[in-house]
Structure 1
Amino acid sequence: MSTDYLKRILTSKVYDVAVESPLELAPLLSQRFGNSIYFKREDTQAVFSFKLRGAYNKMANLPPAALARGVIAASAGNHAQGVALSAKRLGCRAVIVMPTTTPQVKIEAVRRMGGEVVLAGESFSDAFTHAQELERAQKLTFVHPFDDPDVIAGQGTIGMEILRQHPGQIDAIFAAIGGGGLISGVAAYIKQLRPDIKIIGVQTEDSDAMLRSVRAGRRVMLTDVGLFSDGTAVKQVGVETFRLVRQYVDDFVVVNTDAICAAIKDVFQETRSVLEPAGALAIAGAKKYVTENKWKNKTVVAIACGANMNFDRLRFVSDRAEVGEMREAVFAVSMPEQRGSFRRLCELVGDRSVTEFNYRISDADRAHVFVGIQVSSAAEPAKIASTLRRHGFDTLDLTHDEMAKTHLRHMVGGRSGLASNELLYRFEFPERPGALMRFLNAMNPDWNISLFHYRNQGADYGRILVGIQVPPSDKKQFKAFVSDLGYPNWNETDNPAYKLFL
């Protein structure tokens, strides 16, 4: 079977629809990690993913009668686009069953290419079951997204290109694993010509069916899969892909959502391209693997395998990238509810950039603040927490708390019976170190801050919402403070949403 794959890959018909994607050095990452890190840019294909290689190779090898009846596929999106594009090129009908959780960008792309979309189930496995029923009912030919020798061979052409594009030393190739088609094809080719190159599979913590299967010595069925990296959300790997992975793959690395978000940001900074989560999985894995194994001066290739990202998801990615890179730590800090506590906390943070402040007065004695701080290493959050505790601030490190990062940071606040004489203002100020302290230092120390929300969004201007308790007799002085500050500001005290919720 092994020689068969070499022949299948060498004679595959992928180049009717696919291009030889670039193999590009990532200079910023290479310098940061002390290794030569290359991206194999499969996001540059016509459907922004490697999947059209395997789909077309399978369909181009079908007997004319089977092609005439039409094909059916189950896919989270990228394979679907590959099948739809291939069907358009080959002039046949294509029915695509997709999970209901599939990003809209992928659904629309399939429809634009003439594919008939059927939405069924919440994961690939659910969609797969429904597709099998339709296959039998309508006598269509099933084009499997990964567990098919022609599909695997089509994906294997990526390995062929890597060796042609970089004939010199390569220490490892990192590939994302969902069902295993990509890594199986690449490994089957590479290991027969260059067995010295390590093939390393990358999976997410919540969709690691292949790793569990290899450890168990049999194909394991996951009960649930995480949906952030929807392109690799597979409950059970293929029979043939499992066999090939056990035979050829050297190692595995598992990454979390934050690491994927950080990798998406890394690729954007290198290429100005935005990968989808599954597309950035190999990059996240390569970063983690070279760090944990203390690799230096080695050459690694990470397959950037897809860029079908829902635009709406970028908000989440942006928020979590800093945490994934260990550039942001988040804390819950309790302090005495007295004037000056807030300023003292800012002074202890020192020169570090504050990325977020959420606070609402709620207790006469204690104040609870949600704060994000920019850090430069994984060890720094513990040091910050220790410093704050030493100065009398009870501190809880929430950097790895999923609920806090996803929900709590947006929910700090509510109505307060203690917020008498409160004026609510929005301010914009230049996003530079010291701007926040300038604001606090200019304020009358007799005025109490009763609400504060700030989030660094990476823009040139920071935006804060602040509630300040100003006695009626100080209104004139407060107006002078706002005017002298020189920052654009808006009085929101009469805003109906403020009256309703805060």
Structure 2
Amino acid sequence: MKNYLQSILTASVYDVARQTPLEEAVNLSRRLNNRVLMKREDLQPVFSFKIRGAYNKISKLPAEQRERGVICSSAGNHAQGVALSAQRLGIKATIVMPRTTPAIKVNAVRNFGGRVVLHGDSYDEAKAHAEKLVAERGLTYIPPYDDPDVIAGQGTVGMEILSQHPRPIHAIFVPVGGGGLIAGIAAYVKQLRPDIRIISVEPEDAPTLERAMAAGRRVTLDEVGIFADGVAVRQIGKETFRIARELVDECMLVSTDEICAGIKDIFEDTRSVMEPAGALAVAGIKKYVEERGVRAETLVGINCGANMNFNRLGHVAERAELGEHREAVLAVTIPERPGSFREFCETIGNRSITEFNYRFADPTEAHVFAGIALNEGLNERDEVIAALRERGYPVLDLTEDEMAKVHLRHMVGGRGHNVADEVLYHVRFPERPGALLKFLRRLGKRWNISMFHYRNHGADYGRVLVGIQVPPDQRGRFRESLDKLGYPYKDETANPAYALFLS
């Protein structure tokens, strides 16, 4: 470990990397009753800490290896770090990436001067091809984490934290994939400040270090989740595990919903959007505070990367409320009769409905998929369920049901069977508490709702697609009710898509 201390202190990283700020997350600190500091590695030139280890490794290569060039296999941040480091040092870099790599990352590597080779459909296939090119062309392979020079480069993050905050720190929370970042930080911090706890944070579906620590040896996971693709590694590095096993105090696992909530927390404090791996530390801090009840402590999290794919933002926004325990997802059975939707909404009180999906299927009871906004977390969810059951509604809590959250919410509905006199309307209303209930009260008990689809997407206006059983001789009065409501609406009964899929 003394060798690592010297290597970190003399690491060549600042020719290309920058000393990133250690910023207080003011809003999160207030909520958690602790001082939360974020190490902003998302502000590096490649939006990730990976530039540190890559540059430190490449800069130490002898002249003959530089002349032949370097190569790495990566689908993300390491690829960009190697490409930019090689460009600054005037070295040719070949980056092998899976063919499935998003174009934004391929283009970023090319913009940094890297020669991109697309090969295979997985990281393992890309790595095997990179090793083949090493043998054929004499290129020097730059490993992403399991190398002393890479580890030392990443360790400069720990060096900066201690210089930026010499006062007491309770714990540093570090995202873990292959282990290079946590090995470097721990090797430095534990020699100078052994009182500071080093805590690893991993996704529940990629517990590489947690499983190895439990087994006392490195293990290879059968599969890993790829939502947090920056840490989607099946086996911890050999050297990184040797260090982590000795110096890491604790391993934490967080769910996808908790990661999404972490992304939202960081955005609210910094207006920056982390990639999933970049929010692991904040998710771990929140879980640690909730489970341990610590107060008035200083907790440091590493925001390790911000290379977010734009098409993931919708998923993140949808799941963040669940990760914050600010939304309950329930399956509720209500009577199939006019006015029952209104009575259901009145039962849940002033809470906002975030989602409401239903299709007529039975003449006696209706099965509703409902999302309900919460202000006080798990206790309030229990209160809502208790209130509904007290009114006689059968309730199934789906908040933790992955299948329901990913698939079922989009599949509720389908064709109506034996739905007489149904008309279909698209209604727009202001997205504020009480607006949906006002709509339901206007319908009163005169007409039965046979289909309802609503989801709050964060826009200024909510949009409802509603099917209503209105006999032909009452349709004039029905439209008059809508006119008095004042919400813009459109009759979609003649829409060919309705005839094809719903009626």
Alignment of 1:447-458 (within 5 A): 447-458=447-458
Looking at structure 2, the residues matched to 495 and 382 of structure 1 have their Cα atoms a distance apart, in angstroms, of: 41
Q: Is the 8 A contact 2:422 2:450 kept in 1?
A: yes
Alignment of 1:77-476 (within 5 A): 77-121=76-120, 123-375=122-374, 376-476=376-476
> Residues 174-205 of structure 1: CA distance to partner in whole angstroms, max 9, x if unpaired?
01000000010011111111111111000111
Moved more, 116-125 or 266-275: 116-125
Structure 2: 5+ residue stretches without partners: none
Superposition TM-score, scaled by structure 2 size: 0.97
Which residue does 2:2 correspond to in 1? 3
Looking at structure 2, the residues matched to 11 and 284 of structure 1 have their Cα atoms a distance apart, in angstroms, of: 32
Structure 1 residue 247: Cα displacement: 1.3
Secondary structure of the corresponding residue to residue 337 of structure 2 = coil
Q: Is the 8 A contact 2:339 2:444 kept in 1?
A: no
Looking at structure 2, the residues matched to 197 and 101 of structure 1 have their Cα atoms a distance apart, in angstroms, of: 40
Secondary structure of the corresponding residue to residue 15 of structure 1 = coil
Looking at structure 1, the residues matched to 454 and 243 of structure 2 have their Cα atoms a distance apart, in angstroms, of: 51
Q: Is the 8 A contact 1:35 1:299 kept in 2?
A: yes
Distance 1:429 1:340, change over 3 A: same
Looking at structure 2, the residues matched to 366 and 205 of structure 1 have their Cα atoms a distance apart, in angstroms, of: 38
Query: Which amino acid in the other structure matches residue 355 of structure 1?
Result: T
Structure 1 residue 489: Cα displacement: 1.5
Structure 1 residue 120: Cα displacement: 4.2
Query: Which amino acid in the other structure matches residue 214 of structure 1?
Result: M
> Residues 279-306 of structure 1: CA distance to partner in whole angstroms, max 9, x if unpaired?
1011101111122111100001100000
Structure 1 residue 133: Cα displacement: 2.2
Moved more, 122-131 or 92-101: 122-131
Looking at structure 1, the residues matched to 169 and 125 of structure 2 have their Cα atoms a distance apart, in angstroms, of: 39
Distance 1:281 1:245, change over 3 A: same
Q: Is the 8 A contact 1:68 1:92 kept in 2?
A: yes
Moved more, 390-399 or 401-410: 390-399
Which residue does 1:493 correspond to in 2? 493
Structure 1 residue 112: Cα displacement: 1.9
Query: Which amino acid in the other structure matches residue 362 of structure 1?
Result: A
Secondary structure of the corresponding residue to residue 66 of structure 2 = helix
Q: Is the 8 A contact 2:86 2:92 kept in 1?
A: yes
What number of residue pairs does the alignment pair up?
501
Q: Is the 8 A contact 1:146 1:180 kept in 2?
A: yes
Query: Which amino acid in the other structure matches residue 195 of structure 1?
Result: P
> Residues 108-138 of structure 1: CA distance to partner in whole angstroms, max 9, x if unpaired?
2112222223344555444333322222122
Distance 1:491 1:387, change over 3 A: same
> Residues 1-46 of structure 1: CA distance to partner in whole angstroms, max 9, x if unpaired?
x111111111111001111001000011101011000000000011
Looking at structure 1, the residues matched to 251 and 104 of structure 2 have their Cα atoms a distance apart, in angstroms, of: 30
Looking at structure 1, the residues matched to 173 and 472 of structure 2 have their Cα atoms a distance apart, in angstroms, of: 65
Looking at structure 1, the residues matched to 127 and 236 of structure 2 have their Cα atoms a distance apart, in angstroms, of: 12
Structure 1 residue 76: Cα displacement: 3.1
Moved more, 41-50 or 387-396: 387-396
Distance 1:254 1:101, change over 3 A: farther
Structure 1 residue 96: Cα displacement: 1.6
RMSD: 1.3
Structure 1: 5+ residue stretches without partners: none
Secondary structure of the corresponding residue to residue 274 of structure 2 = coil
Distance 1:386 1:120, change over 3 A: farther
Looking at structure 2, the residues matched to 172 and 294 of structure 1 have their Cα atoms a distance apart, in angstroms, of: 14
Secondary structure of the corresponding residue to residue 382 of structure 1 = helix
Which residue does 1:29 correspond to in 2? 28
Looking at structure 2, the residues matched to 377 and 124 of structure 1 have their Cα atoms a distance apart, in angstroms, of: 39
Q: Is the 8 A contact 1:42 1:50 kept in 2?
A: yes
Distance 1:50 1:148, change over 3 A: same
Looking at structure 2, the residues matched to 491 and 69 of structure 1 have their Cα atoms a distance apart, in angstroms, of: 69
Superposition TM-score, scaled by structure 1 size: 0.97
Which residue does 1:477 correspond to in 2? 477
Distance 1:8 1:431, change over 3 A: same
Looking at structure 1, the residues matched to 407 and 187 of structure 2 have their Cα atoms a distance apart, in angstroms, of: 44
Distance 1:242 1:91, change over 3 A: same
Structure 1 residue 146: Cα displacement: 0.2
Distance 1:292 1:154, change over 3 A: same
Identity %: 59
Q: Is the 8 A contact 2:338 2:444 kept in 1?
A: no
Moved more, 468-477 or 103-112: 103-112
Q: Is the 8 A contact 2:223 2:234 kept in 1?
A: yes
Looking at structure 1, the residues matched to 322 and 164 of structure 2 have their Cα atoms a distance apart, in angstroms, of: 35
Looking at structure 2, the residues matched to 119 and 347 of structure 1 have their Cα atoms a distance apart, in angstroms, of: 57
Looking at structure 1, the residues matched to 119 and 198 of structure 2 have their Cα atoms a distance apart, in angstroms, of: 34
Q: Is the 8 A contact 2:5 2:188 kept in 1?
A: yes
Query: Which amino acid in the other structure matches residue 361 of structure 2?
Result: S
